[in-house]
Chains A and B, each alone.
Chain A
Amino acid sequence: MTAPRPYTLVAELTYRCPLRCPYCSNPVNFHAMREELSTDQWCQVFSEAADLGVVQLHLSGGEPVVRKDLPALIRHARQCDLYTNLITGGTLLTAENLKQFRDSGLDHVQLSIQDTDRETAEHIAGIRSYDKKLEVARLIKQLGFPLTLNVVLHRFNIDHVPELIALGAELGAQRLELANTQYYAWGLENQKALLPTRAQRDRAEAIALEARARYRGTMEIAFVQVDYFAEEPKACMGGWARTYMCITPTGEVLPCHAAHVIPGLSFDSVRHQSLGTIWRESSALNAFRGDDWMQEPCRSCPKKTVDFGGCRCQAFLLAGDAAATDPVCHYSPHHQAVLEAVAAAEHEQAPLVYRDLKNSERLSGHS
């Protein structure tokens, strides 16, 4: 199969992070993946990505600002003409390093905010961070960066969508992402604690859609669904290894943040092969391209070119088979698992499992 053109590269520069958010998309066993790519290796990756056609580069993590070579990486990315976005928790940003990033050519900053309520925000982040983040948001604007505010929504903050929208407008964000928790990795560990009720989600969505129309042209508002409440699956990543790739701190090329969870796939590393070779030839990236791999009910479904069968990771996590129909789909024989999780959210509670080194070791069987 001919490989399609990739548009987006998420470069996870590190798994180190001062925050401990319980919905983190990093793998639960991140503790075992510490050997990060060097500056030169990342620069090589950016050059090769640009040659392949990548336009958008997201410098992510963990917290990418822990990398001392971040200005050098930004400079190289800009030389490759990549649109360079820093995805950050903000707690390590200062006027000095932000200026340095700006002068190196950074295009855009995406800052996470946990809530408008200080206590909830810090309960979720797992550290004191509320004031610092607001201060940093203002600094980002003062230095002339376009700002996206990203808020991961869950049971504890989804009722604050009106306040979050007002905060985005007050801070002058050009984009506000109200992104419901996706239940993979740490999010899945915390599903019972985080999943909102259907009523909470319906209310939040209605408010977000109304605000989207009101702020059109000044602040773009994105509302990312909890797919558990949907009847049809999301077109996950716009299709497996179709337009998007994610490179882990250690150099493995994945079709998304979560794909590590699928057993039997062997992901190739930019330490050993060029990005172009991996993008075209990696057995893991080719595993679910196109639709030859599909089973029923996807195979004969007219929507298969629209939703690509949904999410492969979710199919594995909830149906035990990465090639099955995403159980979010109401045609999936495993749809009941999703309905049960949604029903349980109405009454169940669980303590938060924070994303940190200790829990990572514990959950992956090290003590």
Chain B
Amino acid sequence: MTDIPASWQPRLAAKARLRWDNVEKRHLLVFPEAALLLNETAVAILKLCDGERTIEQIVDTLAQQFVGTDRTLIADQVTELLTRLQTRGLLETERQ
């Protein structure tokens, strides 16, 4: 598995689309042949993956949004989600 550097500016791959699901009342990440139901934390993280912000900036922004949550915990959640998505080819890889 590739390590995720703090300077990486992640962006969703062109094949993946984030959308609201009216049946489950949750966000879905849809891509060829499958879809992932996301929790609110994952949605908050993905909405910041714009190809401009670095991982570090994403964690900073989330720390401001979720006041009182430990920054290390947020960083771990970001790394975990992005690693999972990267393994499935759901993030743009050209910046690595």
Contact = CB atoms under 8 A, between A and B. Distances in A.
Nearest to B83: A217
B72 interface: no
A145 B14 CA distance: 8
A146 B31 CA distance: 10
Contact of B23 (A53, A145, A148): A53
A146 B15 CA distance: 6
Interface string A143-167: 0111010000000000000000000
Contacts of A81: 19
A55 interface: yes
Nearest to A215: B89
Given A146-B32, A148-B32, A217 B89 contact: yes
Interface string A126-153: 0000000000000000001110100000
Given A55-B28, A56-B30, A218 B89 contact: yes
Interface string B61-75: 000000000000000
B30 A83 contact: yes
A268 B80 CA distance: 46
Interface of B: 2, 13-15, 17, 19, 21-23, 28, 30-33, 35, 86-89, 93
Interface residues of A, number: 22
A7 interface: yes
A5 interface: yes
A146 B35 contact: no
B88 A220 contact: yes
Contacts of A189: none
Nearest to A50: B22
Contacts of A146: 13-15, 32
6 contacts: A55-B35, A56-B30, A83-B32, A107-B17, A145-B14, A217-B2
Interface of A: 5, 7, 53, 55-56, 81, 83, 85, 107-108, 110, 144-146, 148, 174-175, 216-220
Given A55-B30, A146-B32, A108 B15 contact: yes
Contacts of B33: 56, 175
Central interface residue in A108, A144, A145, by most chain B CB within 10 Å: A108
Contacts of A148: 32
Nearest to A52: B23
